[in-house]
């Protein structure tokens, strides 16, 4: 067995060549909780094996075995332990079977990265793939059309009537309905109260010289994600926050751009964009039957991992729609109650919603006058004695709307970077003319006469 393990370990290719670390870096790494847990994973089996050697030898002695037999047994067991311990460590280092035992991932701990700055430690996950999301979606679209299937673009779903979806362009009926509209446009299941809406930001720039080839995401705050495209773009993301909870979101892009230029030798930023995601209290998506709607299913709460969770939800829902069992259905059950450890998160999020519902109305009692808005600015202001959500465009025209979100009545706030009205309670978004950009709201903001 030792010989077989040895041959396997030697034949396993090394994934990277670590560079030498100073005593301070080693001590800092050893003190990290995940490293301590990993050390125990290696140490405890060795201690157990050693104890078994001693106990076994004593037991043989008590049964009357000769001294030679006891000594030989002890030496053989000690020899097996001496051979297997370094082999187990070697396999753990090379194949990443130490830290991710609970997660079941092929990962390993390292302090060696291609980033232009030192890190105290990193979890390296092997066998990842990076692909072009738009090309992936276009391929899915081509696969859907035909054989009785169709895509209806620029069609907004408004209601769910049994197994019929009511849209702004007509009604669509089916044997099964799957609601995957980011956050459900129907309030069944109360998902708007069980998830937090988050916005995050990204930019792309060319790099002078070498750029990182791997995919990286930090665990500290503010978070940063780094990856490169095949065409040479460096993509940096981060600066996430709850929707509607930032007075000037333009500073989010500024922070990312400053960090990029300080960290990498970048060309001027040419592309920037933001995204919206919904994070469940326990960190897992809701996938399964839509409560209160027979024949309807839901997938939501992907928490910024839409490409992978989208595929996983498709596999689960495929089986549920066809009446088949799926081994992961119970884990992601859309009707599950938040786990005990997530109750605090749910309560905290909804207390914040209540504070915004009341507090924003109190603040509106002292709103500035609409005349104070400069071109390109928006805010909750007073217009002819009425409180409105107003935006003055670059030509000086004022766009005035009701400040009340059409979902559940919270007051919207102005998103300076996207020039949109965002609801700080459940994440609905509207353009400067009041049209819905993002659910769960399905109705536009009401215009206010000028």
CATH assignment of the domain containing 374 = 2.102.10.10
Handedness of CA 423, 429, 433, 436 (dihedral sign): negative
CATH code: domain of residue 178: 3.50.50.60
* pLDDT at residue 389 in the model: 93
Is 430 inside any structural domain? Answer: yes
- Contact status, residue 326 vs residue 319, Cβ threshold 8 Å: yes
* pLDDT at residue 87 in the model: 60
* pLDDT at residue 88 in the model: 56
Tokens describing residue 319 = 């089986």
Is 161 inside any structural domain? Answer: yes
Domain match, 81 and 106 both = yes
Q: Which of 7-16, 165-174, 192-201, 271-280 has the lowest mean pLDDT?
A: 7-16
Handedness of CA 113, 116, 121, 123 (dihedral sign): negative
* pLDDT at residue 96 in the model: 41
Domain match, 8 and 118 both = yes
Domain match, 269 and 292 both = no
130 vs 366: CA distance, rounded Å: 50
Q: Which of 10-14, 75-79, 352-356 has the highest mean pLDDT?
A: 75-79
With cut-offs at 50, 70 and 90, classify the pLDDT of residue 448.
Answer: confident
The answer to whether residue 441 scores a pLDDT higher than 70 is: yes
Residue 408 has a CB neighbour count (10 Å cut-off) of: 17
Is 330 inside any structural domain? Answer: no
For 363-398, how does the pLDDT look when each residue is reduced to its tens digit (9 = 90+)? 555 678 888 889 999 999 988 888 999 999 999 999
With cut-offs at 50, 70 and 90, classify the pLDDT of residue 243.
Answer: very high
31 vs 338: CA distance, rounded Å: 33
Last residue in a domain, options 280, 300, 335:
280
* pLDDT at residue 99 in the model: 44
CATH code: domain of residue 255: 3.30.9.10
Domain match, 120 and 32 both = yes
Average pLDDT, the chain: 80
Domain match, 220 and 93 both = no
Is 424 inside any structural domain? Answer: yes
**Measuring CA to CA, how many Å separate 74 from each of 9, 47, 151, 297?**
26, 15, 72, 61
396 vs 207: CA distance, rounded Å: 39
Is 336 inside any structural domain? Answer: no
With cut-offs at 50, 70 and 90, classify the pLDDT of residue 230.
Answer: confident
- Look up the domain containing 56 and give its range: 2-125
Q: What is the mean pLDDT of residues 221-244?
A: 91
CA-nearest of 240, 237, 243 to 257 is 237
- Contact status, residue 349 vs residue 198, Cβ threshold 8 Å: no
The answer to whether residue 208 scores a pLDDT higher than 90 is: no
Domain match, 287 and 380 both = no
Which is higher by pLDDT, 422 or 110?
A: 422
To which residue do tokens 């006891």 refer? 70
Per the DSSP assignment, residues forming a β-bridge with 246 are: none
* pLDDT at residue 85 in the model: 60
Last residue in a domain, options 100, 125, 150:
125
182 vs 179: CA distance, rounded Å: 9
Tokens describing residue 398 = 């004022």
For 54-96, how does the pLDDT look when each residue is reduced to its tens digit (9 = 90+)? 666 666 666 666 667 766 766 776 666 666 666 655 554 444 4
For 282-333, how does the pLDDT look when each residue is reduced to its tens digit (9 = 90+)? 889 999 999 889 999 999 999 888 888 999 999 999 999 999 999 999 989 9
Q: Kindly report the backbone phi and psi dihedral angles of residue 58, in degrees, each rounded to the nearest multiple of 5, phi listed first.
A: -65, -35
DSSP H helices in 216-342:
250-263, 306-321
387 vs 370: CA distance, rounded Å: 9
* pLDDT at residue 386 in the model: 87
With cut-offs at 50, 70 and 90, classify the pLDDT of residue 128.
Answer: confident
Domain match, 276 and 292 both = no
Domain match, 376 and 357 both = yes
Q: What letter does residue 262 receive in the DSSP assignment?
A: H
* pLDDT at residue 210 in the model: 82
Domain match, 378 and 264 both = no
Which is higher by pLDDT, 139 or 2?
A: 139
Pairing state of beta strands 195-206 and 271-280? antiparallel
Domain match, 213 and 308 both = no
* pLDDT at residue 213 in the model: 86
- Contact status, residue 369 vs residue 381, Cβ threshold 8 Å: yes
* pLDDT at residue 437 in the model: 93
- How many domains would you assign to the chain? 4
Q: What letter does residue 411 receive in the DSSP assignment?
A: B
Cα R_g (the chain), whole angstroms: 29
Q: What letter does residue 255 receive in the DSSP assignment?
A: H
310 vs 313: CA distance, rounded Å: 5
With cut-offs at 50, 70 and 90, classify the pLDDT of residue 46.
Answer: low
Which is higher by pLDDT, 371 or 198?
A: 198
Is 445 inside any structural domain? Answer: no
Which is higher by pLDDT, 76 or 4?
A: 76
CA dihedral 437, 441, 443, 447 (to 10 degrees): -70
Last residue in a domain, options 69, 95, 125:
125
Is 446 inside any structural domain? Answer: no
With cut-offs at 50, 70 and 90, classify the pLDDT of residue 281.
Answer: confident
With cut-offs at 50, 70 and 90, classify the pLDDT of residue 242.
Answer: very high
Q: What is the mean pLDDT of residues 348-357?
A: 52
268 vs 348: CA distance, rounded Å: 40
Own/partner pairs, 153-157, CB within 8 angstroms, 24+ separation: 156/436, 156/442, 157/181, 157/185, 157/442
Domain match, 8 and 120 both = yes
Does residue 437 have a cis peptide bond before it, meaning omega lies within 30 degrees of 0?
A: no
Tokens describing residue 98 = 């130490």
Q: What is the mean pLDDT of residues 204-212?
A: 88
Domain match, 298 and 151 both = yes
240 vs 243: CA distance, rounded Å: 9
Is 231 inside any structural domain? Answer: yes
Handedness of CA 304, 308, 310, 316 (dihedral sign): negative
Which is higher by pLDDT, 381 or 7?
A: 381
To which residue do tokens 């002695």 refer? 61
pTM attached to this predicted model: 0.70
Q: What percent of the chain has pLDDT over 90?
A: 39
* pLDDT at residue 16 in the model: 43
136 vs 98: CA distance, rounded Å: 34
Q: What is the mean pLDDT of residues 190-203?
A: 90
Q: Give Cβ neighbours of residue 151 (< 8 Å, ≥ 6 apart).
A: 141, 144, 145
């Amino acid at each position: 067995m030792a010989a077989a393990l040895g041959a396997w370990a030697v034949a396993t290719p090394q994934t990277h060549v670590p560079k030498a670390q100073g005593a301070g870096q080693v001590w800092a790494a050893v003190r990290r909780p995940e490293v301590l847990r990993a050390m125990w994973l290696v140490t405890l089996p060795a201690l157990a094996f050693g104890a078994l050697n001693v106990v076994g030898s004593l037991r043989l002695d008590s049964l009357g075995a000769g001294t030679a037999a006891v000594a030989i047994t002890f030496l053989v067991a000690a020899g097996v332990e001496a051979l297997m311990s370094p082999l187990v460590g070697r396999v753990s280092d090379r194949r990443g079977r130490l830290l991710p035992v609970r997660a079941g991932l092929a990962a390993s701990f390292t302090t060696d990265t291609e980033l232009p700055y030192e890190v105290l430690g990193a979890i390296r996950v092997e066998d990842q793939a990076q692909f072009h999301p738009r090309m992936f979606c276009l391929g899915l679209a081509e696969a859907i059309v035909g054989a009785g299937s169709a895509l209806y673009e620029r069609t907004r779903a408004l209601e769910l009537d049994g197994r019929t979806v009511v849209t702004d362009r007509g009604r669509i009926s089916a044997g099964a309905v799957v609601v995957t509209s980011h956050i459900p446009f129907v309030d069944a299941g109360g998902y708007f109260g069980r998830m937090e809406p988050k916005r995050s930001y990204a930019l792309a720039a060319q790099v002078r010289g070498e750029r990182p080839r791997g995919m990286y995401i930090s665990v500290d705050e503010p978070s940063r994600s780094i990856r490169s495209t095949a065409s040479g773009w460096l993509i940096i993301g981060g600066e996430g926050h709850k929707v509607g909870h930032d007075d000037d979101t333009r500073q989010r892009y500024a922070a990312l751009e400053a960090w990029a230029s300080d960290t990498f030798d970048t060309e001027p930023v040419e592309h920037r964009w933001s995204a919206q995601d919904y994070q469940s209290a326990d960190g897992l998506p809701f996938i399964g039957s839509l409560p209160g709607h027979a024949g309807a299913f839901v997938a939501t709460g992907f928490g910024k991992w839409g490409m992978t969770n989208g595929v996983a939800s498709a596999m689960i829902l495929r089986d549920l729609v066809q009446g088949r069992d799926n081994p992961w259905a119970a884990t992601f059950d859309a009707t599950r109650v938040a786990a005990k450890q997530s109750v605090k998160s749910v309560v905290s999020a909804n207390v914040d919603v209540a504070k915004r519902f009341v507090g924003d109305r109190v603040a509106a009692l002292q709103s500035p006058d609409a005349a104070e808005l400069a071109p390109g600015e928006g805010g909750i202001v007073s217009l002819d004695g009425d409180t409105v959500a107003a935006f003055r465009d670059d030509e000086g025209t004022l766009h005035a709307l009701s400040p009340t979100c059409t979902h559940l009545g919270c007051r919207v706030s102005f998103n300076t970077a996207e020039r949109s009205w965002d609801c700080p309670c459940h994440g609905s978004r509207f353009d400067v003319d009041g049209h819905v950009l993002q659910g769960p709201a399905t109705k536009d903001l009401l215009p206010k006469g000028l």
